[in-house]
Amino acid sequence: MGLASARATDRRDWWFRISLWLVGGTLAYNVIEAVVAVWFGAEADSVALLGFGLDSVIETLAGVLVLWRLTAEVGGRDAEQMERIEVRVHRFVGITFLLLAAYVGAQAGFALSTQQVPEASPIGILLAVASLLIMPLLSWGKLRAAREIGSSALRAEAMETLACSYLSLTLLLGLAANAALSWWWADSVAALLMVPWLIKEGREGLRGEGCCC
C-alpha cells in the first residue's frame, strides 16, 4: 500500500507540473495572440480582428486567475477566502466582457452602415489558423491533466479553451471572405457573430462563474 500510494502521489505531482505548463503555455499564447491581433486589426481597420485581440487580452487576465486557482487548489489554502476573491475577479472580468461586446457591436454596426472597407490581413488569417490548431490541443492536454489531478478549475478552463475555437473559426471565415472574395461586409458580420459569445462570457462572469479561454 505504501509503495502504491507513493507512486500515485508521484504521478499526481507529475501531472500537476504538466498542468501548470499547459496553463502557462495558454497564457503565453494568449499574450502573443492579443498583441498580434490588436496591432494588425488596427492597421487593417478590421473590427473582427481587433475584437478578437481585445478578447484575448481579457482571457489573459482571467487565465492568471485560473493559474492562481490551480496552485491554491493543490496548496490547501483557505477555500472560503479563495472563493470570495475568485467571485470578485470573475465579476470584474464579466463586466469587461460586456463592455467589449458593446464596443464590438457598435463598431461593427458603424462599419456596416458606413460601408467601411477593411484591408485584407494575411497575418490575421494565419493567426486564426494557428489558434484553430493550437487551442484544441491545449484543451485536450488540460482535460487529461484535470482528470489525473482531480481539478475542477482546470477542467472548466480546458472546456473554455476548446469553446473559444468558435471565435477563431468565425474570425478565419470573416477575414478569408474579405481577402479572397472582397466581401468587405464579412469582417463586420464576423465581429457581430462574436458578440453573443462575449455576452455569454460576461453574464457568466457576473454570476461569479468561470469566464476565460
DSSP string, 24-84: HHHHHHHHHHHHHHHHHHHHHT-HHHHHHHHHHHHHHHHHHHHHHHHHHHHHT--HHHHHH
- pLDDT tens for the chain, 213 residues long, are 455 566 666 787 888 889 899 999 999 999 999 999 999 999 999 999 999 999 898 888 878 887 887 777 666 566 676 677 667 767 887 888 899 999 999 999 999 999 999 999 999 999 999 999 999 999 999 999 989 888 777 887 787 788 778 899 999 999 999 999 999 999 999 999 999 989 988 898 788 765 554
pLDDT of residue 175: 96
Q: What is the pTM of this model?
A: 0.84
Task: Encode burial over 88-105: b for 16+ CB neighbours within 10 A, e otherwise.
Answer: ebbbebbebbbebbebbb
pLDDT of residue 78: 65
pLDDT of residue 178: 95
C-alpha pair distances (Å), 203 with each of 56, 207, 209: 18, 6, 9
